């Protein structure tokens, strides 16, 4: 639904497992993590924003989070590292989409609308199957 079949079934299951385990560990909503990943990287695990130094599924900033955790930029491209760190960062920012994005102005408003729209879809889907 969210990925429009752009993810292989194997990667979808791998990400789901990592998101579930990491969201439990850091006590964050897994649907919110999925929505963030969809907007941050469109589920492209090798996504790099060279301008900002953000890497991987959660677009984790290497200078602020990777370096502090003794990780290389390449490490941040590994979903098994990126997703747990993403959950940790999201929790650190009070589970606030805007603070996670660290933006402001019109770009941040568009970002928030996108995340909330995807989260709404996920919540409807979860209610249907729940």
Segments forming the whole domain that contains residue 88: 9-129
Report how far residue 102's alpha carbon sits from residue 81's, in angstroms, rounded to the nearest whole number.
21
Neighbours of 129 (CB within 10 A): 5
Helix (H) or strand (E) holding 49: strand 48-49
Closest CA to 114 of 32, 37, 4, 39: 39
- pTM for the model stands at 0.92
16-33 pLDDT, tens per residue? Answer: 999 999 999 999 999 999
pLDDT 10s digits, 60-99: 999 999 999 999 999 999 999 999 999 999 999 999 998 8
The 8-class DSSP code of residue 78 comes to S
Examine residue 3 and state whether it is found in any structural domain, yes or no.
no
pLDDT at 2 over 70: no
- What domain count does the chain have? 1
Domain assignment of residue 2, yes or no: no
């Amino acid at each position: 639904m969210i990925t429009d079949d752009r993810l292989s079934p194997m990667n979808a299951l791998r990400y789901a497992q990592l998101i579930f385990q990491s969201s439990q560990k850091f006590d964050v909503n897994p649907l919110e993590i999925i929505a963030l990943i969809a907007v941050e990287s469109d589920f492209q695990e090798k996504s790099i924003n060279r301008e900002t130094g953000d890497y991987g599924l959660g677009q984790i900033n290497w200078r602020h989070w990777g370096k502090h955790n003794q990780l290389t930029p390449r490490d941040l491209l590994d979903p098994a590292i990126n997703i747990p760190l993403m959950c940790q960062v999201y929790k650190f920012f009070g589970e606030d989409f805007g603070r996670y994005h660290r933006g402001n102005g019109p770009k941040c408003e568009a970002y928030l609308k996108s995340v909330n729209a995807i989260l709404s879809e996920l919540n409807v889907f979860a209610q249907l199957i729940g």
